[in-house]
Homo-oligomer: A and B are copies of this chain.
Amino acid sequence: MAPHDALSEFDLIKHYFVRQRPGRATLGIGDDCALMTPAAGKQIAISSDMLVEDRHFFAGADARMLGHKSLAVNLSDLAAMGARPVAFTLALALPQAERAWLAGFAEGLFALADAFDCELIGGDTTKGPLNICITVFGELAPGQALRRSAAVAGDDIWVSGTLGDARLALAGYRMEQELSPADLATAGARMHTPTPRVTLGCALAEAGLAHAAIDISDGLVGDLGHILKASRVGATLDVDALPAGPVLARQDAQLRRRYTAAGGDDYELCFTAPASSRDAIAALAISCGTPATRVGRIETHAGLRLVDAAGQPLDLQLSSFDHFSD
């Protein structure tokens, strides 16, 4: 960036992140704190995610996609709780203030924020290795939260949308799998611009149809494991019933099983619900425009048992992603 074109921290915030549209915040960007007036009788759900270059996204990743994904992974946490998005803060460390990057990032960020009526109310900017930290706020009625600890033996296990295409894209970028440019673009879109399942998550919570939920970020098997542990139950998962993404669906069965069961970066919901909710959930999924598929059953017996379409045990040698062992 030419020196005469230098952006100060305040100009940067004003130009790219302060918007001239009425929001729900009592006080937005520009003071020591933002102020929110909570809706009477509602609880506030809060989640923070930090995205780091070379770990959560490639160096040089498209700024627009990055703006989308940074907020999407946070909205996905609200969806998994059944909370309606209200607002978020953005803390951003940037190696330099580049106008084109900032414009793209803001465009991706606000397109998604506007789709879910979620207002940017504050944050921080600083120079430093690229790091994007968003804290998101949602609201929900007391008692409606879809908690990890609420699964009950006998519950069906459901997943939203499709799984595995984001992991397949990663394999494609790493040249571990050969994919056509068109397939890589399709699968890559699942990795770069995931759709947070806010509509379905909120509808499930508000209708009282589901028990436990989690969003699938580190792979279904690992994330379902958190539900099992918190709920002190076990489960059988029908791996061949897992809905594969359109590109992964055309790959061989072993790859399909591994990537749907433990791919990571899916940002779909995994939730449990009593069998009595089946028809209502199927109808709700249609009205939300988000497919939902039954893929297993919660059981009293501890542990997670993976089976194939014939009900035979599968050993997929899976491991969940861990930031400090990987």
Q: Are B35 and A43 in contact (CB under 8 A)?
A: yes
B214–A50 CB distance below 8 A: no
Q: Does A185 contact B (CB under 8 A)?
A: no
Q: From A93, which residue of chain B is reached at the shortest CB distance? A: B52
A34 partner, pick from B33, B40, B47, B50, beta carbons under 8 A: B47
Interface presence of A19 (CB below 8 A): no
CA distance A6 to B96 in the complex (A): 34
The contact of A50 among B33, B47, B54, B91, by CB within 8 Å, is B91
Binding site for B on A (CB under 8 A): 6-10, 12, 26-27, 30-38, 40, 42-50, 52-56, 77-78, 80-81, 83, 89-94, 96-97, 121-129, 131, 133, 135, 137-138, 142, 145, 147-149, 213-215, 230, 322-326
- The 8 Å CB contact of A135, one of B89, B96, B138, is B89
So how many copies of this chain end up in the complex? 2
* Neighbouring B residues of A135 by C-beta, 8 Å: 48, 89, 91, 135
CA distance A40 to B326 in the complex (A): 45
Residue of B nearest to A121 (CB): B46
Among the interface residues A10, A44, A122, A145, which one has the most CB atoms of the partner chain B within 10 A? A44
Selected contact of A124 from candidates B35, B50, B123, CB within 8 Å: B50
* Complex CA–CA separation, A326 to B126 (angstroms): 11
A56 to B126, Cβ gap below 8 A?
Answer: yes
CA of A10 to CA of B324, assembled, Å: 9
Query: Are A8 and B83 interface neighbours, CB within 8 A?
Result: no
**Does A47 lie within 8 Å of B32, measured CB to CB?**
yes
Is the pair B126, A129 in contact by a Cβ cutoff of 8 Å?
A: no
Contact across chains for B148 and A52 when beta carbons are under 8 A apart:
no
Closest B residue to A56 by beta carbon equals B126
Give min CB distance, A229 to chain B, whole Å.
10
* Known contacts A32-B77, A89-B46: A52-B323 contact under CB 8 Å: no
* Given A126-B323, A127-B52, A127-B55: A80 touches B46 (CB 8 Å cut-off): no
Bound-state Cα–Cα, A92 to B230, Å: 24
Give the distance in Å from the alpha carbon of A26 to the alpha carbon of B81 in the complex.
Answer: 13
Q: Is the CB of A52 within 8 A of B129?
A: yes
Interface pair B127/A83, CB less than 8 Å apart: no
Contact A96 B142 (CB under 8 A): no
18 A-B residue pairs with Cβ-Cβ distance under 8 Å, sorted by A, are A6-B325, A26-B142, A31-B147, A33-B46, A33-B83, A34-B45, A36-B46, A37-B142, A38-B44, A48-B89, A48-B123, A49-B91, A52-B129, A55-B127, A124-B133, A125-B324, A127-B326, A131-B133
Q: Tell me which of B56, B122, B131, B230 contacts A48 (CB under 8 A).
A: B122
- Does B47 contact A122, Cβ atoms closer than 8 Å? yes
